[in-house]
Amino acid sequence: MKTILAYGDSLTYGADPGGGPRHEYEDRWPTTLEQGLGGKARVIAEGLGGRATAYDDWTAAADRNGARILPTLLASHAPLDLVIIFLGTNDLKPFVAGTAAYAARGARRLIEMTRGHFASVGEPVPQIILVSPPHVVETTNENMLSNFGGLGHLLRESQDFARHYRRHAEETGVHFFDAASVAKADPRDGVHLDQANTRAIGEGLVPLVKQVLGL
């Protein structure tokens, strides 16, 4: 059986855009992906709300710098056949990184770290899929808007995710998936996904993961 690490933020965690409880286990995209692979792989979900690619957020109680935590997770879940990197929305916060270009560069650092980690311990390097986040949509949620520096900035930068992520995926030779091609954020907060759109990411990834892992 293959082993997949799904490394992400609140979209992987299954945060509810209405501020309610976390989505049920069966409604989270890593679960949907695992089910779609028909028992040929297990998907380890590592999602943390607020996690950025490779930048600090000093307002948070938990460590949200994805680059600092990743090596520990790679070691604890090894061996791995595939790592899915799905981060970047939180990077758009002005006090974190601020732009889609910086988010993509942070994601590239995670690719480098994943390869370097396994090469350094003499273990097979897993395949990598880089996922660009869904677009943000218009919202009147003041808490979300204040975190992200206003609606205009948020909408503009999120539209640029796929362009930057695809380029870095091509340059580093990893696989790419645009989550905006299958999922749309909920206007209740403009960023998070309802259950159907969360599941859609897992469903959308199934054909690519099967191809990458030869399932």
* Structural domain span for residue 143: 2-213
Task: Indicate the average pLDDT of the chain.
Answer: 95
pLDDT at 96: 95
Cα dist. 192→11, 22, 30, 68, 142 in Å?
6, 11, 16, 24, 14
Rounded CA gap, 151 and 124, in Å?
43
pLDDT at 188: 94
Beta bridge partners of 41: 2
* Domain harbouring 64, CATH code: 3.40.50.1110
Beta bridge partners of 4: 43, 82
Cα dist. 154→11, 95, 150, 157, 190 in Å?
17, 13, 6, 5, 9
Tokens of 99: 């732009």
* Number of compact structural domains in the chain: 1
In tens, the pLDDT along 132-151 reads 999 999 888 887 777 777 77
In tens, the pLDDT along 149-176 reads 777 888 899 999 999 999 999 999 999 9
Q: Of 19, 107, 104, 9, whose CA–CA distance to 62 is shortest?
A: 9
Rg of the chain, C-alpha, whole Å: 16
Does this model's pTM top 0.85? My answer is yes
pLDDT at 150: 74
Rounded CA gap, 128 and 5, in Å?
10
Who contacts 153 (Cβ-Cβ below 8 Å, separation ≥6)? 92, 94
In tens, the pLDDT along 81-111 reads 999 999 999 999 999 999 999 999 999 999 9
Query: 45 pLDDT band (50/70/90 cuts)?
Result: very high
